[in-house]
Amino acid sequence: MIRSICRWLLLIVIWSSIPAIPQQPVAPPPKPADAGPSREATMNFLQDKLNGQGRVGFVRTASNAGGITERDYVLFSDVVGDSSSCNLNSTVTVDVSKEVAEGTTDAQGKPVAQLKIHVVEKGTIPLKYIEKIVVEGLQEHFNRMAAQNAHPEVVITITPAAFYLEVIASKPVISFRESSANNDEAPEVKDRNVPDYGFTIRDEETANRLAKALTHAVELCGGGNKDPF
């Protein structure tokens, strides 16, 4: 009997000497897709931000195009986020001026002339098909594309820095009507469907905010990557 009491006292001493382990906080469950701003509010934010940034200009040079300086100006306008159809409609106007130093020749030794390009694209992005949204520096984007096109030796420089917000769909469902003209030539109009599209954004903070809003809009529209792995 005395030995049993001693064993119980020993256990009490042992347990009383063990420090209390603080309870670890448990992460809250993931928010449902309809949490946060409404679809209409999110679409309005997207259209206001894209329409409000104005024309974005930058200078582009390439290591394999000595003597050529390209000045690009990109303007997004008439951006409308349709909350009922989950479509993001926009018009983008791109003006490119290729300035050539005197005596510049191409790979065949022919003189390279000055060139002005004017492009207008009116398009529709169905958000329910968007699977991925990426933000990267515009310079990094151009260099990555050059490498993917088997030209890793080409180095492209963008000044001042700008950013590229890319939306990637599961199939070529992003539709555009494109009108392009070189110098004073008559414009060529064509329709095209692509699986991805990018917005040129002036600064990184705005690009990240737009990416966050786009991600939310895609979720509200039933899009996103459904691959469980």
User: In 10 A of CB 130, how many CB atoms?
Assistant: 28
Q: Which helix (H) or strand (E) holds 51?
A: helix 39-52
Strands 68-82 and 56-62, sheet pairing: antiparallel
Please state which of the ranges 139-143, 160-164, 224-228 shows the lowest mean pLDDT: 224-228
CA distance 81 to 43: 5
Token representation of residue 83:
């909350």
User: What is the 3-state composition of the chain as percent helix, strand, coil, each rounded to the nearest 5?
Assistant: 25, 40, 35
Q: Mean pLDDT throughout 67-82?
A: 95
| Residue 2 CA neighbour count, 13 Å, CB half | 0
Prediction pTM value = 0.79
pLDDT of residue 135: 97
Confidence of residue 34 (pLDDT cuts 50, 70, 90): low
Query: Roughly what angle, to the nearest 10 degrees, separates helices 39-52 and 204-220?
Result: 150
| Residue 10 CA neighbour count, 13 Å, CB half | 6
Q: CA nearest 179: which of 121, 103, 221, 219? A: 121
pLDDT tens per residue, range 128-149 = 999 999 999 999 999 999 999 9
pLDDT of residue 102: 81
Structure-model confidence comparison of residues 7 and 75, the more confident one: 75
